[in-house]
Amino acid sequence: MNEKRTILGLIGGLAVVYLLDAVVRAALDGFVGSDIIASGVVFQSLLLGYAVLAFNRLEMDILIDFPDRDALLDVVFVVFVSSVITFGAASIFYTPSISIRVLTPLTVVGLVSVHSLIVFAPLAEELFFRGMLYPLLKTQFSVGAAMGVVSVVFALSHLTGGLGLFLTLLSGLFYVWLYEKHGNLTVPILAHALENMIGVVW
């Protein structure tokens, strides 16, 4: 496997997912259900599908298993620290690019969006960024540099700026640290899902 070409291919595929999402949004704008499209469900579905296809093609070894006690404690620690920083920063430096409570869960759009945030996003993003891109980056860079690069790409992929970009970068660093420490993709998936769930509930 040519790792450099594979890395570029994965990032290129991510760009195609964004393009397809934009095309679908534009095509369905104004139609019934376009609110659900705008909620990010289509993007997360496309990313999950792409990640699964890429995973099968690359035939990478990824451990997905129930976390042990130490891993669960690390998840609690990461979610707690990340949440404190996120909500603290948002309350002090609130900008339009940060919207903590963006959903109304008791609507169809809200329910679909919550499902996307808590299920699709953690599965798709962890499989793609931590499960595939990160191990490939480690073949080209040191562990620290690979952690930094994958976290930057993860943050930029959320298309936010300012404080939102920093907070997403911080979360990305937490997730990749969990994966590097425990070698089990379930650990960052769980942390990601819990952090998103806290953001929805709060």
CB of 130 closer than 8 Å to CB of 60: no
CB of 199 within 8 A of CB of 100? yes
Q: Where are the domains of the chain?
A: 3-201
Contact call for residues 144 and 18 (beta carbons, < 8 A): no
> Quick one: how far is CA 176 from the chain centroid?
11
* 130-145 per-position pLDDT tens digit: 999 999 999 999 999 9
Provide the pLDDT confidence category of residue 99 given band limits of 50, 70 and 90: very low
pLDDT given at position 196: 87
Nearest to 178 by CA among 166, 164, 192: 192
Q: Flag the least confident range among 56-60, 103-107, 191-195.
A: 103-107
Q: Is the dihedral of CA 10, 8, 6, 138 positive or negative?
A: negative
pLDDT tens per residue, range 171-201 = 999 999 999 999 999 999 999 999 988 877 6
* Contact in structure between 24 and 100 (CB atoms under 8 Å): no
pLDDT of 102 reads 47
**Residue 31's pLDDT band (cuts 50, 70, 90):** low
Structure-model confidence comparison of residues 175 and 65, the more confident one = 175
